[in-house]
Amino acid sequence: MKTLPSVCPYDCPDACGLLVTVEKGRAIKVAGDPAHPFTRGTLCPKMAHYERTVHSPRRLTTPLRRVGKKGSGEFTPISWEEAINEITSRWKAIIARDGAEAILPYSYAGTMGVVQHGAFHGLFYRLGASELDRTICSPAKGRGYADVMGTTLSTAPQEAQESDCILLWSTHTLATNLHFRHDLAAARKNGAKIWCIDTYRSKTADLADYFVSVRPGTDGALALGILHILHGEGLTDRDFLEKHVLGWEGLAEKILPKYPPEKVAAIAGVPEEMLRALALAYGHARAPFIRLGSGQSRYRNGAMTTRLITCLPAAVGAWGKKGGGLLASANASRAYDVDIVHRPDWRQAGVRHVNMCQLGEALTADSRIKSLFVYSSNPACTAPDQNKVLAGLAREDLFTVVHERFLTDTARYADLLLPATTSLEQDDAYYSYGNYTLQCGWAAIPPVGESLSNWDLACRLAKALGIDDAFYDQSARMLSEKLIASTKSRWPGIDTDLLQSGRPTPLPLPTDYNRTFATKSGKIEIRNNTLSPALPDYMPLPADAEGFAFVNAPDMRILDSSFNEREELTRGNTMVLLIHPEDAAKFHITDGQRVTAQNERGEATFTAKLTASTVPGRVVSEGVWWRERISGEHSVNVLTSQRLTDEGAGSTFYDVRVNLQAK
Ligand SMILES: Nc1nc2c(c(=O)[nH]1)N[C@H]1C(S)=C(S)[C@@H](COP(=O)(O)OP(=O)(O)OC[C@H]3O[C@@H](n4cnc5c(=O)[nH]c(N)nc54)[C@H](O)[C@@H]3O)O[C@H]1N2
Ligand SMILES: Nc1nc2c(c(=O)[nH]1)N[C@H]1C(S)=C(S)[C@@H](COP(=O)(O)OP(=O)(O)OC[C@H]3O[C@@H](n4cnc5c(=O)[nH]c(N)nc54)[C@H](O)[C@@H]3O)O[C@H]1N2
Ligand code: SF4
Ligand SMILES: [Mo]
């Protein structure tokens, strides 16, 4: 028996340090690593029994060929040799007839490890396949932040311990950033007050001192309302604005007068007294800290909304005050030279791009795609406009290969289904996007069954396709070690021996990391002349016909659609719709009753839960569930749209309206 360090591979900002106990080639216990500077020895309930995922009886263990109808999930085992031969002969024929752009890779962050995440990039670049724009998460948030701050690093989460006023803004901390709760508790001990700004009263709202319920997609107006009050009350930091900020005068003269508190209260659905209280608390705080989630960014105005919220710490000079600032994303990935894995030098100019939020459209309206290769993602469940995605996946002429750990909704549509390893069976270098830590995860157990890691499969495919390049003679371990070496010039001061040892490795932050601003002008750019409009302003969402705003928030039990394989986590209610009792009365809906939500894209069935945690006109569901976990035909993404954000071409998952009907 031995205990090895590892790291949580999932798409979660915490990137927890793990201690894995291994006996006879099996992981028997997984615990938190107390040495991790942010996650500090605890895990979320999902990962506390990661060994149940790793050794689940549901793991795919051999390559499979489809024998039933697409979607039926009926397969027969085949050998790896047969699978690789079939893929290469089908792809060669497709390339000869339709060109390499007829092949589309589709992936996201099933694993966050740099090597396995980007393992197939080089192969598909080299083939000249269609390129996927990986936009499903929150590029609009990234854009909105960068529009104001450039590449300035966000404030480290542990600094919030020294803040006296913390805003949890569109983030369900207890579900998606659990370990920040330690910092919240420490800050609170020192007298800090915590505000939660969300569209419904989540469990995170219950943790806060104050809850601000905001109308979906109107946070930009809310930010302007706060700025209006700060300006009016003389609570801005004039000295800081003069020295470090471009465009404050323009904003104060041209934009803020349009957003008096009474108007903002009406737009955002926030009582005027609450708006004032929030603005005054923020303005009077010694070191206000904003933890900005992604909720506000998944709307047609998502980048602009983020841009407006990012103006707040500039107005009060929160940057550089110990405990103050804003954390959007920690960007620790910068420490690695990811091109070592991605091989952008193999990219071919002019190839077609497909935005992953528009997979449904790409597979249905555009029959040029003849083969789809899915890995590290489950688009049949997680991509918007599910009916379109499923119609595309059902196409008989689409040769679909899925590389997966489990029989997911997408895997059911595969022509060839290939078994993938879990993180405990593969080598990789990781980073966190919510705190400043790097870590390597070295294989702790051998591959389960005949599963192959993304990288090992990429090497097999490259060779079989005749790509004779020494790049594919390297192991994932060798690539990880090159990534470690690359940190030396990119982020000075990293303890690379510690990183190599597989233990959590803090990224040293320079003392002025959020006191100097990495923009073109060297100042925070409230006015950004490269953008139109140069000054940020609220963009109202166009009116939609349907009666209810539909918010589909994360669920604590799963992560996107990952962990649906675990019976003990997903037992019980999955498709629950939170409805305010007043709306329920109007529509004759009772608690526990079946109810359908529908719009022009489709219809999903839920169990109604009557609750004042939402407000009239707004319904809420949590989680993206596998079809086998729900009683109806479709999960939530049958309702969501392929429309993109204002900037960044990102997803608009929460920008949805529905009508309700009791069943
Ligand atoms: N348990 C669990 N953990 C997860 C995930 C999960 O699904 N489950 N997903 C992972 C992934 S991929 C990501 S990107 C991160 C995301 O982590 P976060 O950014 O923290 O969470 P989001 O899901 O983007 O949204 C958080 C909140 O935004 C709220 N919201 C929606 N619209 C608005 C709005 O207009 N204004 C405001 N103020 N709030 C709004 C939602 O109600 C929700 O509570 O979490 C990761 N961690
Ligand atoms: N309605 C709604 N939809 C959403 C969201 C929402 O809030 N609401 N959130 C969106 C967000 S933020 C995101 S990021 C996306 C994420 O959506 P997806 O990218 O689909 O993420 P997961 O559902 O976690 O699926 C990841 C899959 O990768 C597999 N996997 C894990 N490790 C490996 C590996 O090493 N190799 C291979 N080949 N496979 C592996 C897992 O078994 C799992 O099935 O979902 C989006 N969808
Ligand atoms: S899912 Fe997030 S909170 Fe849970 S163990 Fe992984 S990194 Fe930690
Ligand atoms: Mo995400």
Residue 364's closest CA among 389, 401, 399?
A: 389
Residue 227's closest CA among 148, 111, 125?
A: 148
Amino acid identity, position 451: S
Residues 6+ apart with CB under 8 A from 130: 101, 102, 103, 104, 105, 351, 352, 353, 354, 369
Overall average pLDDT of the 61-75 stretch: 97
Query: What is the rounded CA–CA span in Å between residue 652 and residue 639?
Result: 11
- Per-residue confidence (pLDDT) for residue 111, from 0 to 100: 98
CA 408 to centroid of ligand 1, rounded, Å: 22
| Structure tokens belonging to residue 471 | 């790049």
- Per-residue confidence (pLDDT) for residue 545, from 0 to 100: 76
CA 137 to centroid of ligand 4, rounded, Å: 4
Whether the per-residue pLDDT at 384 is higher than 90: the answer is yes
- Per-residue confidence (pLDDT) for residue 632, from 0 to 100: 87
Which atom of ligand 1 lies closest to the CA of 295?
28
Does the beta carbon of 137 lie inside 6 Å of ligand 2?
A: yes
How many C-beta atoms surround the C-beta of residue 233 within 10 A? 13
Amino acid identity, position 515: R
- Per-residue confidence (pLDDT) for residue 143, from 0 to 100: 98
How many C-beta atoms surround the C-beta of residue 448 within 10 A? 22
Q: Which CA distances in Å does 34 have to 18, 46, 509? A: 9, 18, 21
Q: Which residue has the tokens 């192969």?
A: 123
Does the beta carbon of 604 lie inside 6 Å of ligand 2?
A: no
Q: Which of 46, 112, 137, 170 to probe ligand 1 with, by most ligand atoms within 8 A of CB? A: 170
470 backbone dihedrals φ, ψ, rounded to 5°: -60, -20
Does the beta carbon of 621 lie inside 6 Å of ligand 2?
A: no
Q: Which CA distances in Å does 89 have to 141, 204, 593? A: 42, 52, 52
pLDDT digits (tens, 9 = 90+) for 607-659: 999 999 999 999 999 999 999 999 889 999 999 999 999 999 999 999 999 99
Helix/strand/coil for 35: coil
CA 118 to centroid of ligand 2, rounded, Å: 15
Q: Which of 198, 299, 624 to probe ligand 1 with, by most ligand atoms within 8 A of CB? A: 198
Amino acid identity, position 581: P
Statement: the pTM of the whole predicted model exceeds 0.95: yes
Q: How would residue 367 be classed by pLDDT, with cut points 50, 70 and 90? A: confident
Residues 6+ apart with CB under 8 A from 198: 168, 170, 172, 204, 205, 211, 212, 213, 214, 295
| Structure tokens belonging to residue 216 | 């979906």
| Structure tokens belonging to residue 618 | 């707004």
Judge contact between 526 and 148, C-beta under 8 A.
yes
Helices (H), 354-404: 359-364, 379-382, 386-393
Query: What is the rounded CA–CA span in Å between residue 445 and residue 252?
Result: 59
- Looking at the CA of 359, name the nearest ligand: 2
Helix/strand/coil for 367: coil
Cα 41–Cα 46–Cα 49 angle in degrees, nearest 5: 75
CA 11 to centroid of ligand 4, rounded, Å: 7
Whether the per-residue pLDDT at 4 is higher than 90: the answer is yes
Q: Which of 10, 430, 556 to probe ligand 3 with, by most ligand atoms within 8 A of CB? A: 10
Q: Which residue has the tokens 């604590």?
A: 556
Between 454-464 and 80-98, two packed helices, what is the crossing angle to 10 degrees?
60
| Structure tokens belonging to residue 412 | 């059911």
- Structural domains of the chain ordered from first start: 2-54 (3.30.200.210), 64-137+339-506 (3.40.50.740), 155-328 (3.40.228.10), 548-662 (2.40.40.20)
pLDDT digits (tens, 9 = 90+) for 149-190: 999 999 999 999 999 999 999 999 999 999 999 999 999 999
Residue 417's closest CA among 63, 116, 123, 656?
A: 63
Query: Going along 33-79, which residue ranges are E strands?
Result: 64-66, 75-77
- pLDDT averaged over every residue in the chain: 97
Q: Is the dihedral of CA 540, 544, 547, 550 positive or negative?
A: negative
- Core vs surface per residue 20-46: b (16+ CB within 10 A) or e: bbbeeeebeebbbbeebebbbebbbeb
Query: What is the rounded CA–CA span in Å between residue 363 and residue 303?
Result: 27
- Looking at the CA of 136, name the nearest ligand: 2
CA 46 to centroid of ligand 3, rounded, Å: 7
Q: How would residue 40 be classed by pLDDT, with cut points 50, 70 and 90? A: very high
Whether the per-residue pLDDT at 572 is higher than 90: the answer is no
Which atom of ligand 2 lies closest to the CA of 411?
44
pLDDT digits (tens, 9 = 90+) for 199-257: 999 999 999 999 999 999 999 999 999 999 999 999 999 999 999 999 999 999 999 99
Pocket of ligand 1 (CB under 6 A): 11-12, 137-138, 169-172, 175-177, 197-200, 202, 214, 216-217, 219, 293-296, 551, 553-556, 558-560, 654
Judge contact between 224 and 264, C-beta under 8 A.
yes
**Residue 370 CA neighbour count, 13 Å, CB half:** 16
Overall average pLDDT of the 552-560 stretch: 96
Query: What is the rounded CA–CA span in Å between residue 38 and residue 179?
Result: 7
Q: Which of 172, 184, 264, 548 to probe ligand 1 with, by most ligand atoms within 8 A of CB? A: 172
